[in-house]
Amino acid sequence: MKIWGKNAVAELIKTDKTVDKILVVNGLRDEQSRDLIKQAKARGYKVQFAEKAVLDKECGSSKHQGFIAYTSDFKYTEFEDLLSSVASKENAFLVVADGIEDPHNLGSIIRVCECAGVDGLVIGKHRSAQVTDSVMRISEGSANHLKISRVVNLNNAVEKIKDSGLWTYALELGGQNLYKQDLKGKICLVIGGEDTGVNKLTQKKCDGVLTIPLSGKVNSLNASVALGVGVFEAVRQRSL
């Protein structure tokens, strides 16, 4: 897997993941670049320097900001291990992504979850974007710090999450006002795909449906934006 961009590489360096090497554009003199190179060398990573054209070719664009890290493919957390890790947490918080096929949305969702301190994200093995180089870059490296599980059957996963004691809510139209729902304690929010929303059967599996009240003429939000609203409403309530 190739991870590029200063922030994404910086987040990778903070983890214990194996890094084969870091490719850096020749001649970088800014403080952030020099500090990042210093950190990489301090961790014992192999740092190689090359012309910008080489990095452009490696990542297929010029958006690398002078840094590309080469690491092993993303390692997902086993679903049962994720459930075990939150079983005893008083304020366990999970997110399920149902049919998020756009890598940009998945990357943004991962970033929202990590920034909010969510305990883990569950995605499907099918009909879903996976954690790739692009998703890692879009998440600004947040995927390095978030437990992400893949499952074959999301409905079964929702049932197991409920059995683990988490109140589970679908973020979808036609439900109860999000801001009137108690989101303290153990909860799981389910966000649906860009076009289809949360699957009808999945909604039925949930304990309830929550809706973000909208005042404009457009009656829907981007999936990652909607999740951000829901997640940070829960964060706000928990901080009171």
Task: Report whether pLDDT(115) > 90.
Answer: yes
Number of domains in the chain: 2
CATH number at residue 54: 3.30.1330.30
Amino acid at 224: S
Tens of pLDDT, residue by residue over 124-165, are 988 889 998 889 888 988 998 999 999 999 999 999 999 999
Task: Return the bridge partners of 120, or none.
Answer: 94
Indicate if 60 and 120 belong to the same structural domain. Answer: no
The structure tokens listed for 132 are 């790739």
Q: Which of 50, 71, 92 is the last residue of a domain?
A: 71
Query: Is residue 3 scored above 90 in pLDDT?
Result: no
Please state the rounded mean pLDDT for residues 164-186. 95
Q: Give the pLDDT confidence score for residue 60 in this predicted structure.
A: 83
Within this chain, do residues 85 and 113 fall inside the same structural domain, yes or no?
yes
Please count the helices (runs of H) and the strands (runs of E) in the chain: 9, 10
Q: What is the mean pLDDT of residues 100-120?
A: 95
Residue 14's domain comprises 2-71
On whether both 118 and 7 belong to a single domain, the answer is no
In this predicted structure, what is the pLDDT of residue 194?
74
**190-237 pLDDT per residue, tens:** 999 877 889 999 999 999 999 999 888 777 789 999 999 999 999 999
CA count, 13 A, side-chain hemisphere, 12: 32
Same domain, 107 and 59: no
CATH code (residue 95): 3.40.1280.10
Same structural domain, 90 and 208 = yes
Separation between Cα atoms, residue 222 and residue 226, nearest integer Å: 6
Under the phi-then-psi rule, with left for phi > 0, alpha for psi from -120 to 50, and beta for the rest, what region is 42? Answer: alpha
Q: What is the pairing mode between strands 67-71 and 93-98?
A: unpaired
Confidence (pLDDT) at 62: 84
**Structure-block tokens of residue 172:** 């979808």
Please tell me whether residues 45 and 89 are part of one structural domain: no
Residues 55 and 66: their CA atoms lie apart, in Å, by 7
The mean pLDDT of 7-21, rounded to a whole number, is 85
Do 75 and 49 contact (CB within 8 A), yes or no? Answer: no
Q: Are residues 85 and 165 in the same domain?
A: yes
141 conformational bin, left if phi > 0, alpha if psi -120 to 50, beta if neither: left
Check whether 119 has a pLDDT greater than 80: yes
- Is the confidence at residue 19, as pLDDT, over 90? no
The reported pLDDT for the residue numbered 13 is 86
Residues 42 and 98 in one domain: no
Task: Return the DSSP state at 193.
Answer: B
Q: Output the pLDDT for position 43.
A: 86
Residues 85 and 25 in one domain: no
Select from 45, 71, 97 the last residue of a domain: 71
Name the band, by pLDDT with cuts 50, 70 and 90, for residue 20: confident
Q: What is the C-alpha to C-alpha distance for residues 70 and 19, in angstroms, rounded to an integer? A: 6
- The tokens of 35 are what? 């500090």
Q: Which amino acid is at 208?
A: G
Q: Which of 31, 51, 71 is the last residue of a domain?
A: 71
**What is the model's pLDDT at position 105?**
94
User: DSSP states of 55-113 as a string?
Assistant: HHHHHTSSTTTTEEEEEPPP-PPPHHHHHHHHTT-TT-EEEEEES---HHHHHHHHHHH
Pair (62, 115) in one structural domain: no
Taking residue 184's Cβ as centre, other Cβ atoms within 10 Å add up to: 12
Cα–Cα distances (Å) from 109 to 87, 96, 180, in that order, read 23, 10, 23
**Do 84 and 101 share a structural domain?**
yes
Q: pLDDT (tens digit, 9 = 90+) per residue, 25-77?
A: 998 889 999 999 999 999 888 999 999 999 999 888 888 999 999 987 788 99
Q: Report the run of H or E that residue 34 belongs to, with start and end.
A: helix 31-42
- Give yes or no: residues 34 and 126 share one domain: no
